[in-house]
Amino acid sequence: MQRQRIVFIAGILAALATILPLAAAIAYARHRALEAEREHLAEYSDWTLRRAERNFARVTDVFRELQAVDWDACGEDHIARMRKLAVDNLAVEEVGYFQDGKLACTSWGKVTKLVAHGTPDARLAGGFGLYLNVAPQVSAGHPVIVVDRGDYNALVSHERFVDVLTDTPMTVGIATLQGRIIAVNGTAPGDVMRRAASLDGFARVGARIFTSVHDGHFRAFAITDEAFVQSRMARELWALVPLALLTSALLVALIVWTSRRRLTPERALEDAIRRRELHVLYQPIMEIATGLCVGAEALLRWQRSDGTSVSPEVFIPLAEKHRLIEPLTDMMIGCVVADLADMLRRERSVHVAINISAIDMQSGRFLPVLTHALAEAGVAPRQVWLEATERGFMDAAAARETLETARAQGHMVAIDDFGTGYSSLAQLAALPLDALKIDKSFVDAIGREAATSVVVPHVIEIAHGLNLLIVAEGVETPEQEAYLRAAGVGFAQGWLYARALPAGEFLAFQEAINGRRVSPFLTSLAG
Ligand SMILES: Nc1nc2c(ncn2[C@@H]2O[C@@H]3COP(=O)(O)O[C@H]4[C@@H](O)[C@H](n5cnc6c(=O)[nH]c(N)nc65)O[C@@H]4COP(=O)(O)O[C@H]3[C@H]2O)c(=O)[nH]1
């Protein structure tokens, strides 16, 4: 993945990791505060309802007692009973008795004034009439609520319906089930009270919140300011913010750690392998005697998405170090087969040389992968040469086993970069090899006064002595080619002929050079 993309995504994730836990903490604190306030209000509306019902039950007790007896209307006993009930019963201020639609007597005595039996403002279940805000005619005093049933009525003060003490500022009220407000304790705005009186549950109106409950006779409500939710929320936040900050810090640390990991060269290589950002180039291998293109060396290239390219001399050791060489080798095998299988099937004397890393050499794991790919593509194993470096022979026994198996399957095996490492001649002689590649550093020395120039004839001599095919690498000048030809070196690759080419260009090069000609020597080998 591109560096800028990783940094960009990490930046966005870090910003989210910072904001989201805090936003979640705020949302959760608000939810908890609202829930707590809803329960708080529900508790008070419930309590108000129970208080109202209890006091109302006392009023209805008065009616029941009086209606149970066939009194001598407004006689002494009747009035005495009414008075006693009014005195004993704290909920009732006064009791009255109507005769022919007019108030005849009250708990105070006979009535001389003409007080008509009016029309109730509201009716309650059980045959009760309710008159709201009535100025008492007989006893005078502040407005009261009048409850009537049959010929009796009772004066009840407003407070009896809402005498609830609250622990925080709130308005509690009682209404009929139709939403007519009966009594209120508090100063909430009228529109909020009307809403609270007409529906059940929890709601918000403007800056107020309320809960309402109801039973058989009344609906009770409790209203408070939303500011109480804010202060509850602030308390919740005190507990939640440190947790949110800790979560943010952990998430940001995780994001930084993961992105730094992704930004390391090895993770970038792993991504590149997965995204197939690597491709293979083919450097032609020429037969010096005939000038024919007899094969190609497959060379991996890593072109990063930002346009920069990474040398195989950097990423191959990196892949080996971080156990990425196996997927890399598999990918390279897949590319080579996809690119060249058609040509290799047509041209049986042409080969492709693939580099085998030290780890692959030791494990031999790539061989079944290669065998399977070649069998599927119909390419002969002899057409795939394996180039092993000296480093690959450090565990000589394992390398020997891999090479022997490879040769038994028909592959040609070449030692690459011979002379640059520490392999001894004895080791070279003991290895199951078909070819030796002369390293570019030796070829460079040809015709110069360099110390290595004296080594070149010996390396060629050794190869001849061991009956190995010789491929010279890094041939750049006709003089180098002339020297190699004269020394009996069979094959060469280098910029004198072509650089490493993309598959299509290599195939065109090979066709242009060879036409229908084939190498008699290599045809005899293939035969
Ligand atoms: N200056 C100059 N250079 C020339 C000339 N002719 C060829 N070269 C370069 O010499 C290197 C030859 O490959 P090598 O010795 O196998 O050395 C290879 C090989 O050991 C390794 N490598 C490349 N591809 C693979 C692969 O698929 N698997 C493994 N395990 N190693 C690979 O990376 C090394 C470097 O590869 P490259 O950078 O492609 O470099 C290549 C090639 O581009 C020339 O005339 N002049």
In contact, 77 and 105? CB cutoff 8 Å: no
400 C-alpha vs ligand 1 centroid, how far in Å?
23
Average pLDDT over residues 290-313: 91
User: What pLDDT is stored for residue 114 in this prediction?
Assistant: 77
| ipTM for the predicted complex | 0.92
Ligand 1 atom with minimal separation from the 357 CA:
30
Quick one: 301 exposed, middle or buried, by C-beta within 10 A (0-12, 13-18, 19+)? middle
The strand order across the sheet containing 144-149 reads 109-110, 102-106, 94-99, 152-156, 144-149, 128-134, 122-124
pLDDT of residue 188: 95
Task: Report the pLDDT value the prediction gives residue 424, as an integer from 0 to 100.
Answer: 65
Distance CA 484, CA 437 (A): 12
The closest-lying atom of ligand 1 relative to the alpha carbon of residue 300 is 24
Atom of ligand 1 nearest to the CA of 476: 45
Return the residue whose CA atom lies nearest to atom 1 of ligand 1. Answer: 474
Ligand 1 atom 29, closest CA: 355
- pLDDT at 275 (0 to 100): 84
pLDDT tens digit sequence for 433-479 = 999 999 998 999 887 766 666 788 988 998 999 999 999 999 999 99
Residue whose CA is closest, atom 42 of ligand 1? 500
Instruction: Give the residue whose CA is nearest to atom 10 of ligand 1.
Output: 474
Longest dimension (CA), the chain: 153
pLDDT of residue 526: 65
pLDDT of residue 1 exceeding 60, the answer is no
Residue 112 contacts residue 106 (beta carbons within 8 Å) = no
Q: 299 C-alpha vs ligand 1 centroid, how far in Å?
A: 6
Confidence category of residue 421, pLDDT binned at 50, 70, 90: low
Task: Report the distance separating Cα 338 and Cα 168, nearest Å.
Answer: 80
Choose which residue among 311, 337, 355, 438 to substitute to test ligand 1 binding: the one with the highest number of ligand atoms within 8 A of its C-beta. Answer: 355
Both tokens of 212, joined, read 């309402």
Residue 430 tokens, joined = 């003991």
Q: Check residue 419 and give left, alpha or beta (phi > 0: left; psi -120 to 50: alpha).
A: left
| Cα 41 to Cα 48: distance, rounded to the nearest angstrom | 10
Q: Which residues have CB under 8 Å from 165's CB, separation 6+?
A: none
User: Which amino acid residue places its CA nearest to atom 31 of ligand 1?
Assistant: 355
The residue extents of the domains of the chain are: 1-263, 274-515
The alpha carbon of 456 and the centre of ligand 1 are apart by a number of angstroms equal to 20
Cβ proximity of 107 and 94 under 8 Å? yes
Residues in the chain: 527
Interval 66-116: pLDDT, tens: 999 999 999 999 999 999 999 999 889 999 999 988 999 999 999 887 787
Interatomic CA distance for residues 446 and 457, integer angstroms? 10
For residue 182, count other CB atoms closer than 10 A to its CB: 26
Rounded to the nearest whole angstrom, what is the distance from the C-alpha of residue 474 to the centroid of ligand 1?
9
Question: Quick one: three-class SS letters along 4-32?
Answer: HHHHHHHHHHHHHHHHHHHHHHHHHHHHH
Quick: pLDDT tens for 315-374. Answer: 999 999 999 999 999 999 999 999 999 999 999 999 999 999 989 999 999 999 999 999
Closest ligand 1 atom number to CA of residue 493: 6
Q: Mean pLDDT across the stretch 371-384?
A: 97
Secondary structure E strands in 406-466: 412-418, 435-438
Q: What is the pLDDT of residue 298?
A: 98
74 CA distance to ligand 1 middle (Å): 126
Q: Which residues line ligand 1 (CB under 6 A)?
A: 283, 298-300, 311-313, 316, 332, 355, 357, 387, 416-417, 440, 473-474, 476, 493-495, 500
* Signed CA dihedral, 297, 302, 305, 308: sign only: negative
Q: Is 113 exposed, middle or buried (0-12, 13-18, 19+ CB in 10 A)?
A: exposed
Quote the pLDDT of residue 451. Answer: 64
Residue 357 C-alpha to ligand 1 middle, in angstroms?
Answer: 12
Cβ atoms of 140 and 175 within 8 Å: the answer is no
- Between CA 295 and CA 286 the distance in angstroms is 7
Q: What is the pLDDT of residues 19-60, one digit of tens each?
A: 999 999 999 999 999 999 999 999 999 999 999 999 999 999
Query: Quick one: pLDDT at residue 113?
Result: 78
How far apart are the CA of 421 and the centre of ligand 1, in A?
16
Using the atom order of ligand 1, give the atom closest to the CA of residue 496: 45
Ligand 1 atom at minimum distance from 499 CA: 6
Look up the pTM and report it. Answer: 0.63
Quick one: tokens of 358?
Answer: 């030290």
Give yes or no for a contact between 392 and 362, defined as CB atoms under 8 angstroms apart: yes
Ligand 1 midpoint to CA 287 (Å): 19
Q: Which of 279, 299, 323 to mutate to test the pocket of ligand 1 (most atoms within 8 A of CB)?
A: 299
**For residue 154, what pLDDT is reported?**
96
Please give the C-alpha separations between residue 240 and each of 32, 129, 248, in angstroms, as whole numbers: 11, 53, 12
Distance, CA of 228 to CA of 38 (rounded, Å): 11
Measure 380 CA to ligand 1 centroid, in angstroms: 24
Nearest ligand 1 atom to alpha carbon 354: 27
**Nearest residue (CA) to ligand 1, atom 39:** 299
Q: Which amino acid is at 472?
A: A
Residue 186 has pLDDT above 90, yes or no: yes
> Is the model's pLDDT at 427 over the cut of 90?
no
Instruction: Give dist(CA 384, CA 412) in Å, integer.
Output: 7
Q: Kindly tell me if the per-residue pLDDT of 245 is higher than 70.
A: yes
| Cα–Cα distance, 23 to 317 (Å, whole number) | 47
Q: HEC profile for 101-136?
A: CEEEEECCEECCCCCECCCCCEEECCCEEEEEEECC
The sign of the CA dihedral 33, 37, 38, 43 is positive
Report the C-alpha gap between 77 and 229 in whole angstroms: 57
Closest residue by Cα to atom 13, ligand 1, is 299
Considering only 84-88, 126-130, 226-230, which range has the smallest mean pLDDT?
226-230
- Ligand 1: which of 384, 440, 497 to mutate, judged by most atoms within 8 Å of the beta carbon? 440
Return the pLDDT at 213: 97
Distance 320 CA to ligand 1 centre (A): 16
CA distance 85 to 91: 10
Q: Which residue type sits at 491? A: F
Q: Which atom of ligand 1 is nearest to the CA of 325?
A: 30
CA of 86 from ligand 1 middle (Å) equals 114
Cα 492 to averaged position of ligand 1 atoms, centre (Å)? 14
Return the CATH superfamily for domain 274-515. EAL domain (3.20.20.450)
Question: How far is the CA of 2 from the CAs of 9, 275, 488, in angstroms?
Answer: 11, 11, 49
